[in-house]
């Protein structure tokens, strides 16, 4: 096991591909939402495990909107990257596309932010390496992560809005 103080998002990136089969679909022959959420959780958890070199547990999932249905026979691609790490938690961004190979068309289906906590063998939180963004996109995700984290904590009543320094302009007139 290699423990480092920083890692790049590319070092833990996960790209997972699945073919939508009849058993994965609803009565409209589209991928069931619950099945897609399952795949998203797996891909993002593997990503968080790679980053932390640890067992991880899902702490939260931000809003997931199903903007485009994924049809029977399409190929689903899930791309997950760690956007930022805090003490023992990591935010992972996951983007989902669907490809109709015979038609040569790819569409964006949805995306979400997952939060994971690294734990030791006894289930207690453990420290994780920091994230060192490399690309412009990674830097944008990194910069927004603290605001998203504070918003999650405020909405979960684990932080008072007055303590959310990154969000004060949203909650209070300055």
- What dotted CATH number matches 6-132? 3.10.129.10
- The phi and psi torsions of 118 (rounded to 5 degrees) equal -80, 135
58 burial (CB, 10 Å; 0-12 / 13-18 / 19+) is middle
70-90 pLDDT, tens digit per residue, is 999 999 999 999 999 999 999
The whole-number pLDDT of residue 148 equals: 86
Residue 3 above 70 pLDDT?
no
CA distances from 165 to 43, 65, 122, 161, 170 (A): 32, 28, 33, 8, 10
The pLDDT of 43-58, averaged and rounded, is 97
The whole-number pLDDT of residue 1 equals: 47
The whole-number pLDDT of residue 25 equals: 98
Rounded CA-CA distance 80/15 in Å is: 7
Question: Quick check: pTM over 0.85?
Answer: yes
The whole-number pLDDT of residue 17 equals: 98
Domain ranges in the chain? 6-132
Q: Which of 97, 98, 96 has its CA nearest to residue 71?
A: 98
Q: In this structure, how many other beta carbons lie within 10 angstroms of the beta carbon of residue 10?
A: 12
The whole-number pLDDT of residue 101 equals: 97
DSSP state of 54: S
């Amino acid at each position: 096991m290699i423990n480092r103080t920083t890692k790049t998002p590319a070092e833990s990136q996960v790209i997972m591909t699945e073919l939508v089969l009849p058993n994965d679909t609803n009565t409209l022959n589209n991928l069931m939402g619950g099945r897609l959420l399952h795949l998203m959780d797996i891909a993002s958890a593997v990503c968080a495990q790679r980053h932390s070199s640890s067992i991880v547990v899902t702490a939260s999932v931000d809003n997931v909107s199903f903007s485009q249905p994924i049809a029977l026979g399409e190929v689903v691609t899930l791309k997950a990257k760690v956007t930022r790490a805090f003490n023992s938690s990591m935010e992972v961004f996951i983007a989902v596309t669907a490809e109709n190979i015979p038609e040569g068309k790819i569409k964006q289906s949805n995306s979400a932010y997952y939060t994971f906590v690294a734990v030791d063998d006894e289930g207690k939180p453990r420290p994780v390496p920091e994230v060192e963004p490399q690309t412009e996109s990674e830097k944008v995700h990194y910069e927004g992560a603290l605001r998203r984290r504070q918003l999650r904590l405020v909405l979960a009543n684990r932080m008072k809005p007055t303590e959310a320094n990154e969000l004060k302009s949203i909650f209070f007139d300055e």
